[in-house]
A and B are shown apart, each in its own frame.
Chain A
Amino acid sequence: EPEVTQTPSHQVTQMGQEVILRCVPISNHLYFYWYRQILGQKVEFLVSFYNNEISEKSEIFDDQFSVERPDGSNFTLKIRSTKLEDSAMYFCATRGQYNQPQHFGDGTRLSIL
């Protein structure tokens, strides 16, 4: 069964450094999302991306965050200057047609020191 693949599985970074999280969507999926889950808390929406542009973003997704699909396959989330509170699991999700469910990858655990 097709899967959403995320790399790396675990990233440890010093505060203030830039990180890039990568996601390979399911083939022929058109809608892409990032969510995050702080330990012990709910899964929360960050951003949605369609047709090479952001279609929706949450209050969490401030100027430190950016997304792109540089080569038509990978979908990336960049955090420019990481803070301690950015430590969380980051999940990529993708879906096909409008009413189809979102399918999630296994996440990247981001640890900021």
Chain B
Amino acid sequence: EDQVTQSPEALRLQEGESSSLNCSYTVSGLRGLFWYRQDPGKGPEFLFTLYSAGEEKEKERLKATLTKKESFLHITAPKPEDSATYLCAVLDSIQGAQKLVFGQGTRLTINP
């Protein structure tokens, strides 16, 4: 069964303090790994898709990277508005299946 584990559960940083969030996955064949941002009371907001080891995507202060076993979401010089829960999900490995399997998320707080 596909599994996604995120760490840490919660992370508190000072504004400008760079760090990384981890997403470890166990799938029989990766068909896509997704990063979402979720604000309190809102739905997940799409950030990135990664398909193969070595791939990287960037958006503003965020960069997502992928290896064969894990993905990292690097946040550079974060601002308070980057505070949110960041969710990692994989597309179910069964061919033709379309469901996303989510990790439990990392709750990121950026203090001014």
Instruction: List residues of A whose CB falls within 8 A of some B CB.
Output: 4, 6, 31, 33, 35, 41-45, 48, 50, 55-56, 58, 91, 93, 99, 101-107
A63–B98 CA distance with the chains assembled, in angstroms: 21
In the complex, the answer to whether B43 meets A104 with C-beta atoms within 8 Å is: yes
A106–B74 CA distance with the chains assembled, in angstroms: 25
Instruction: List residues of B whose CB falls within 8 A of some A CB.
Output: 32, 34, 36, 41-46, 49, 87, 89, 97-105
Excluding A44-B102, A91-B44, A102-B46, 17 further A-B contacts by CB distance (< 8 Å) are A6-B43, A31-B98, A33-B98, A33-B99, A43-B87, A43-B102, A56-B98, A56-B99, A58-B99, A93-B43, A101-B46, A102-B34, A103-B46, A104-B44, A106-B41, A106-B43, A107-B43
How would you classify the secondary structure of chain A's contact residues: helix, strand, loop or mixed?
Answer: strand
A55–B95 CA distance with the chains assembled, in angstroms: 13
In the complex, the answer to whether A42 meets B46 with C-beta atoms within 8 Å is: no
Of the A-B pairs whose beta carbons lie under 8 Å apart in the complex, a sample of 23, sorted by A's number, is A4-B43, A6-B43, A31-B98, A33-B98, A35-B100, A41-B104, A42-B105, A43-B44, A45-B101, A48-B99, A50-B98, A55-B98, A56-B97, A91-B43, A91-B44, A101-B46, A101-B49, A102-B46, A105-B43, A106-B42, A106-B43, A107-B41, A107-B42
Q: Which residues of B contact A31 (CB under 8 A)?
A: 98
In the complex, the answer to whether A101 meets B34 with C-beta atoms within 8 Å is: yes
The smallest beta-carbon distance between B3 and chain A, in angstroms, is: 11
A99–B33 CA distance with the chains assembled, in angstroms: 11
Q: Which residues of A contact B87 (CB under 8 A)?
A: 43
The smallest beta-carbon distance between B48 and chain A, in angstroms, is: 9
Partner of B103, one of A4, A42, A48: A42
A50–B98 CA distance with the chains assembled, in angstroms: 10
Q: Which residues of A contact B42 (CB under 8 A)?
A: 106-107
